[in-house]
Every structure is written in structure tokens, then in C-alpha cells.
């Protein structure tokens, strides 16, 4: 229920941050303005006694987020990949949230598996380990199939996780509504739509059958990608609360010391992570949307192995082209074209000045080019980009939320492997390849062919549709008949296109 009782949840959030000492640490790490820091302390201190205690053995920020629950842990996972925003020390502390959370007992995991699969665990698996990784939503066990001897990873949902997420999401909805009410200017950011999108993503992540389907589709799409592997699901041993995948042996991508000791090229790995993400987003329109360190390994052969497919992103053809043109414009420093694409896509209101917008975008892009990545303050760039969106009345695009969030995470992973990486240089070949294939005369011809095929399928119906439209038009008054002419000609044009397709097929 999204009533005022959620105020207690939000107050407890602030109180927990104050009680654990996280509020000052986090705001300082993010270089928040002194006024914001003071306001947060003043609001949090009176309710400190309401805050959750958390695990005193953990650093303040990690302690607070683990105490507050899975939705907050998800947020911490994102920040753990961005030392340029929260600082090296904070990012290192937050890596704990990726796969080292307290596990639940193996006995409960076995009970869940037996209830889900209707089979005794000892009959299915000859070996079943203690948890090898525990994250915010589920934990993973290594097991061996009794029938074949194959090593597999068995993922089991945490008990009561759906209810816990719903409590947090309800509180987020309430907060979003309050923000929209008290600050009309915030409505362009569409906080309610953002939370609604987040809810859809999370609820999908809580059904492991959907994750198994995503893993299978992702594996099929990327089968030909050199230096990249995706474990395939075992459908017979998967259900809503349990998923079984092939075991992926490798070094966690966060363990740079082990990667170096194994002789892998971290610079090449950093570039490959970024390029793979862009290739999957642009080429396939289906990408891994949770590519933090905890979900990536380096195999013995140097291949990147991805797992945990609970959050996947999709982009339609049009959005992919818009995204590629924006990236390509930045790469070529053609800020005027970047601005035009934003206006053409409707991302910026048509009544704004396109030249002023292009100049504002130059301020975002220019500091990145020719500068060592270690000298770029992403926090300052993001702050300025937010100012730009506010100034030009840009609304949040919910279809791009996952893409934007994942891009931030992937860039953070790449920079942890290669602190000097230049994201634009690395992205250029992937984006150029997509532009050559999907933007321009070749793409226009392909679009026309696809349109003709669609119209061709409706060919038998077109004569009747044209006749019905003509009869309907003849019954209208004269002025209305003139307004209806375009609809008739569209139908006639469709019929001609369908005829052309049919003749082409015959010839």
C-alpha cells in the first residue's frame, strides 16, 4: 500500500544512515554541497534512535545499505563500480554488496529446490556445496549432476525476498509522489514512471524462469562473439525460485591482482567489456543490464564470462539508431548533429534553441577528449549534464533508463581494469560499424523492403479497405471529404506497394 505510512520507512532510511555513520561519509564521498550535508544531518539526527543498527563489523555505507534491504543494496552495487563518483575507498567498500552478502542456510536452499522441482536434492545432485556467492536477491551453490557428472551452478531465491522488495518499492512510490507534489519542476524527470520501470525490472528478476529464458536468448545472440561466453540453462532443473546453469570457472573481474597473476591483459579486458556491451545493445537490441564486477569472470582462456541474467535490457530499432547517432556525434565532436538527433527524437522540446543546446553539449563532451580518464571527474560531468537537462526541459526517457544505468556501470568496470581507458576511442569502431550498416541509404532500402513485406501480407484486404474508405468519404460533407483524401491515398499507395511486392516475387 502506498499510503502515508511509508513516511516511517523513509524516515527510518535517513535515521539508519545517521545511526550507522553513513550519511556523512556518503555525502562527503559524493562531494555534496555543504548545504545538503547540513540539511541531511539536521533531518536525520532527531530520528537516529529509529535507525537500524546493521552489522557493526562493516564499513558505515555498506552497513547501512545491507540493513535497509535489497533495493538499497542494488543502488550500492551500482555505486561500487564508480570510484570516480564516490571515491576509491568507498567503491572498494561497496564491492562487498556484489556477491558477499550473508547467505541463508543451505538447508533452506535445499527445501526450496525440493519444493520447486518436486525431486529430492540428493537424487538430482551427487554433490551440493555451501553458498559460493550471496547477493541481494539470491545465492548460488556449486553442484554436480548425479546423472551426468556435469558441474553446475544452482541459483536459489532468498526466502521472503519478494515481500521485502515490495515494501521498499512502495516507499519509493510514496517518495516519488511527494517529490512531484512539492516540486513541480521535478515532474520532467518523471519520478513515478522511473519507479514503475524499476518495479517492472525487479519483479521480473524475482521469477527465475524468466532469467533462464534470458540466458538462453543471450547465449544464442552472442554465440559468435569472440572472447565472450554465456552459460546455458538446464530447463529441466529450473523453476520460479530455482535456476540451474552450466558452471563458469574463472576469476572474478573485481580481483585485479589475480587477473594480473594469471597473465591476462587488463587493458584489453577493459576495452572488451565496453565494446561487448555496445555491440549487444546496438547489434542485438538485447543486452545484459547488470554488468557489474560480481556478474563477470575471466575464464582460463581469457574469455569474459557473464552470468546473472535477471536484469536484461531491450531497445527497438529506432531507439538503437538514435543512441548510435548520439554516440557517433560525440565521437566526431559534431555537437550540432547530437543536438539535432535529440530534437528529432523528441528528447528536447521543439521550442528550445538548438544552437544553445549544441553549445551546452560541447561543455559535456570536450573535457573527455584527449584527456586521461583518471583526470576526468565523472561526478562533475554528471552534475553538469543534469543542469543541461533541467535548463532545456528534457524529460526522463524510461525506455533509456536501463541503457543509461548500464552504460555507467560498464564504464566503471572498464575503468577499474584500465584507469586510463578512453571510452570514446574504444567505442568508436563498434559505433562506426553499426552506423555503416544501419544508418544511411542501405538502411533506408532495408526499411522500405520490410515495410513492403508488411503491406504485402495485408494485400488481400487492401481493396476492401480502399472501397470501404471511399464509401465512407462519399457520405461525408464536402469539407470533410477533402480532409479524408490523405487516408484514401495512403491506402491506395499501400495497395500499389503490395502489388509491386507481388510482381517482384513473380519476376
Cell of residue 286, nine digits = 538485447
Provide long-range contacts, Cβ within 8 A and 24+ apart, for 499-503.
499/459, 500/452, 501/452, 501/453, 501/455, 501/456, 501/459, 502/456, 502/459
- ∠ CA 108-112-115, rounded to 5°: 135
Q: What is the DSSP letter of 185?
A: G
CA 227/CA 212 separation, integer angstroms: 22
Per annotation, catalytic residue among 84, 170, 225, 290? 290
Burial 80-100 (b: 16+ CB within 10 A, else e): bbbbbbbbeebbebbbbbbbe
- Per-position DSSP letters for 356-408, written without gaps between them: HHHHHHHHHHTTTTTS-GGG--HHHHHHHHHHHHHHTTPPP-GGGHHHHHHHH
CA 21/CA 30 separation, integer angstroms: 15
Cell of residue 291, nine digits = 554488468
Active site residue 317: no
Residues 6+ apart with CB under 8 A from 263: none
Starting at the edge strand found earlier in the chain, the sheet holding 138-145 runs 125-134, 138-145, 151-157, 242-246
Phi-psi map region of 450: left, alpha, beta (phi>0 left; psi -120 to 50 alpha): alpha
So which residues are the catalytic ones? 290
Amino acid at each position: 500500500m502506498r499510503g502515508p505510512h511509508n513516511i516511517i520507512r523513509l524516515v527510518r532510511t535517513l535515521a539508519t544512515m545517521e545511526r550507522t555513520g553513513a550519511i556523512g561519509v556518503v555525502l562527503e564521498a559524493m562531494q555534496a554541497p555543504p548545504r545538503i550535508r547540513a540539511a541531511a544531518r539536521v533531518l536525520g539526527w532527531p530520528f537516529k534512535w529509529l535507525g537500524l543498527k546493521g552489522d557493526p563489523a562493516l564499513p558505515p555505507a555498506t552497513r547501512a545499505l545491507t540493513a535497509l534491504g535489497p533495493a538499497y543494496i542494488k543502488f550500492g552495487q551500482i555505486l561500487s563500480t564508480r570510484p570516480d563518483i564516490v571515491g576509491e575507498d568507498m567503491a572498494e567498500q561497496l564491492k562487498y554488496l556484489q556477491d558477499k552478502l550473508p547467505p541463508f542456510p543451505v538447508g533452506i536452499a535445499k527445501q526450496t529446490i525440493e519444493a520447486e522441482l518436486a525431486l529430492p536434492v540428493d537424487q538430482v545432485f551427487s554433490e551440493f556445496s555451501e553458498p559460493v556467492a550471496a547477493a541481494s536477491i539470491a545465492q548460488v551453490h556449486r553442484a554436480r549432476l548425479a546423472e551426468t557428472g556435469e558441474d553446475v551452478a544452482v541459483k536459489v531465491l532468498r526466502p521472503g525476498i519478494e515481500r521485502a522488495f515490495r515494501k521498499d518499492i512502495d516507499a519509493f512510490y510514496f517518495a516519488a509522489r511527494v517529490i512531484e507534489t512539492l516540486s513541480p519542476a521535478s515532474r520532467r524527470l518523471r519520478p513515478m514512471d522511473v519507479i514503475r520501470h524499476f518495479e517492472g525490472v525487479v519483479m521480473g528478476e524475482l521469477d527465475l524462469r524468466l532469467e533462464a529464458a534470458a540466458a538462453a536468448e543471450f547465449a544464442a545472440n552472442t554465440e559468435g562473439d569472440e572472447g565472450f561466453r554465456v552459460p546455458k540453462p538446464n530447463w529441466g532443473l529450473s523453476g520460479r525460485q530455482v535456476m540451474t546453469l552450466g558452471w563458469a570457472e574463472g576469476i572474478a573481474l573485481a580481483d585485479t591482482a589475480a587477473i594480473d597473476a594469471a597473465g591476462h591483459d587488463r587493458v584489453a579486458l577493459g576495452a572488451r567489456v565496453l565494446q561487448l556491451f555496445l555491440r549487444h545493445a546496438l547489434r542485438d537490441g538485447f543486452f545484459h543490464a547488470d554488468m557489474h564486477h560480481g556478474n563477470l569472470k575471466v575464464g582460463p582462456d581469457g574469455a569474459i564470462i557473464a552470468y546473472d541474467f535477471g536484469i536484461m535490457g531491450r531497445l527497438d530499432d529506432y531507439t538503437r539508431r538514435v543512441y548510435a547517432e548520439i554516440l557517433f556525434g560525440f565521437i566526431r565532436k559534431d555537437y550540432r548533429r547530437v543536438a539535432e538527433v535529440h530534437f528529432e527524437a523528441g528528447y528536447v522540446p521543439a521550442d528550445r534553441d538548438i544552437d544553445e543546446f549544441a553549445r551546452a553539449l560541447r561543455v559535456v563532451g570536450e573535457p573527455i577528449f584527449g584527456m586521461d580518464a583518471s583526470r576526468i571527474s565523472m561526478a562533475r560531468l554528471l552534475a553538469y549534464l543534469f543542469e543541461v537537462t533541467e535548463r532545456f526541459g528534457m524529460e526522463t526517457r524510461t525506455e533509456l533508463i536501463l541503457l543509461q544505468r548500464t552504460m555507467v556501470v560498464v564504464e566503471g568496470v572498464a575503468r577499474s581494469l584500465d584507469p586510463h581507458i578512453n571510452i570514446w576511442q574504444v567505442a568508436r569502431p563498434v559505433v562506426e560499424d553499426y552506423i555503416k550498416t544501419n544508418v544511411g541509404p542501405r538502411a533506408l532500402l532495408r526499411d522500405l523492403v520490410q515495410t513492403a513485406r508488411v503491406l504485402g501480407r495485408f494485400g488481400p484486404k487492401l481493396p476492401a479497405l480502399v472501397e470501404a474508405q471511399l464509401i465512407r468519404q462519399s457520405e461525408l460533407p464536402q469539407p470533410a471529404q477533402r480532409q479524408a483524401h490523405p487516408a484514401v491515398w495512403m491506402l491506395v499507395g499501400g495497395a500499389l506497394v503490395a502489388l509491386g511486392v507481388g510482381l517482384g516475387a513473380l519476376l
